[in-house]
Amino acid sequence: MQRHILSRSLTLALMAGTLLAGCKEGPASASGAMPPSAVDVVTLNQTPLTLTTELSGRTSAHRIAEVRPQVNGIILKRYFVEGSDVKAGQVLYQIDPATYEAAVASAEASLAKAEATEQSARLKAKRYAELVKVKAISTQDYDDAQASWKQAVAEIAAAKAALKSARIDLGYTKVRATISGRIGKSSVTEGALVTAQQAASLTTIQQLDPIYVDVTQSTTDLLQLRQLYASGQLEHTQDGAVVHFVLENGAAYPHSGKLEFSDVTVDETTGMVTVRALAPNPDRLLLPGMFVRAILTQGEQPNGLLVPQAAVSRTAKGGASVLLVNADNKVEQREIEVGRAFHGNWVVESGLKGGERVIVAGLQKVRPGTEVAPKDVTPATPAKQ
């Protein structure tokens, strides 16, 4: 019985060994090598890229006018509501005009007196002009009469100037808004004594539509952009002066602005340059001092090339490299130069060209020189940054 069982066990073991040998000699033994590793590749395509930069900044009023009195006196009345919108020329305060009305009346009387004196001197000079011809008076008397008349004419001019000055001072008793905008709180009330050109302002008017957005940009970025322009890699776009904004809460501002200027002086402590944009503000959504982010369009790269970030690895020296699949489906390693990030991609500066295939998945299974089975994938590529 034991011999029968032992014989049966040996038979089963031999059959199992035969089956295993048959499996090992299957497809792998027929080809003589392992099949190529499957990898995902992306075919690079050149496309126009609009390059932008997002900078942080603060808003500031387009115009600011500090209202101060230009004559002395007591405030009789305030005509505006604090925090409201006012128009240029609108009366804000009334200063007691009594003394200035009296000064105007005195100047008018002086002018009338000067005009009467001039009339008498003119008639006398006219009579003396006839008498001197017949030698009835001396030439000296004629000259004195002419001088008196001219002096009277000059006194009229002086009286007119004094009257004009008095009327100007009387007009200044009505303190008016010099610009249109939103007015702040009043620092004085009725009954307060104010003086001409005083240091403290009565109130402040700020023009909020449009409004300035001041942002700062590093000189490193400016130099890099200028180098790209000089090399022909970037072109100025037609709407290069357009600026878009993002509010503090992350919401997009509904109105786009326009780039006004870039400062010509670099801040020595920070190495930054101030860039000012002008934004419409019809709804008064932006207030002075608010934090916003400005998206500046800086140029267009007509033949831009993007490589997925998943395909780029770093070398020991800190450079960038990718694995390519050539026409023979073999892997090649190449060092490249990349620029800024671009929605999950890197902007290629050099080292790659359109039509080449880079490996984005399966990198750990391959090495340069090995044959692979590439599978094309199409990642979503945005048209703008």
- One domain for residues 131 and 101: yes
Distances (CA, A) of 251 to 232, 256, 276: 35, 13, 21
Nearest to 276 by CA among 290, 287, 262: 262
Give the CA diameter of the chain.
Answer: 183
pLDDT at position 346: 85
- Measured CA to CA, the distance from residue 332 to residue 376 in angstroms comes to 17
Between the ranges 48-62, 89-103, 265-279, where is the mean pLDDT highest?
89-103
- One domain for residues 177 and 161: no
- One domain for residues 239 and 222: yes
Q: In the predicted model, what is the mean pLDDT of residues 51-58?
A: 82
Query: Range of 190's domain?
Result: 69-95+173-200
pLDDT at position 40: 87
pLDDT at position 2: 43
Higher pLDDT, 229 or 72: 72
CATH of the domain at 341: 2.40.420.20
pLDDT at position 116: 95
Distances (CA, A) of 26 to 22, 34, 376: 6, 12, 30
CATH of the domain at 112: 1.10.287.470
- One domain for residues 167 and 289: no
- One domain for residues 147 and 80: no
In a domain, 3, yes or no: no
Q: Residue written as tokens 């004195």?
A: 144
pLDDT at position 373: 86
pLDDT at position 379: 66
In a domain, 367, yes or no: yes
In a domain, 30, yes or no: no
Per-residue confidence band for 22, with pLDDT thresholds at 50, 70 and 90: very low
Which amino acid would we find at residue 326?
A: N
In a domain, 314, yes or no: yes
pLDDT in tens, 284-341: 899 999 999 988 776 677 788 888 888 888 888 888 989 888 888 888 888 888 877 7
Q: In the predicted model, what is the mean pLDDT of residues 350-376?
A: 86
pLDDT over threshold 60, residue 361 = yes
pLDDT over threshold 50, residue 6 = no
pLDDT at position 110: 96
- One domain for residues 221 and 282: yes
User: For the chain, what is the mean pLDDT?
Assistant: 84
pLDDT in tens, 152-185: 999 999 999 999 999 999 999 999 999 999 999 9
In a domain, 26, yes or no: no
In a domain, 139, yes or no: yes
- One domain for residues 177 and 86: yes
- One domain for residues 141 and 178: no
- One domain for residues 132 and 236: no
**Number of domains the chain contains:** 4
Among 300, 327, 361, residue at a domain's last position: 300
Distances (CA, A) of 28 to 11, 44, 188, 212: 28, 34, 97, 72
In a domain, 151, yes or no: yes
pTM of the model: 0.64
In a domain, 382, yes or no: no
- One domain for residues 295 and 214: yes
pLDDT in tens, 99-155: 999 999 999 999 999 999 999 999 999 999 999 888 889 999 999 999 999 999 999
pLDDT at position 21: 46
CATH of the domain at 251: 2.40.30.170
pLDDT at position 24: 46
CATH of the domain at 78: 2.40.50.100
Among 300, 326, 354, residue at a domain's last position: 300
pLDDT at position 380: 54
Among 124, 153, 172, residue at a domain's last position: 172
Nearest to 336 by CA among 319, 323, 353: 319
- One domain for residues 213 and 333: no
- One domain for residues 217 and 156: no
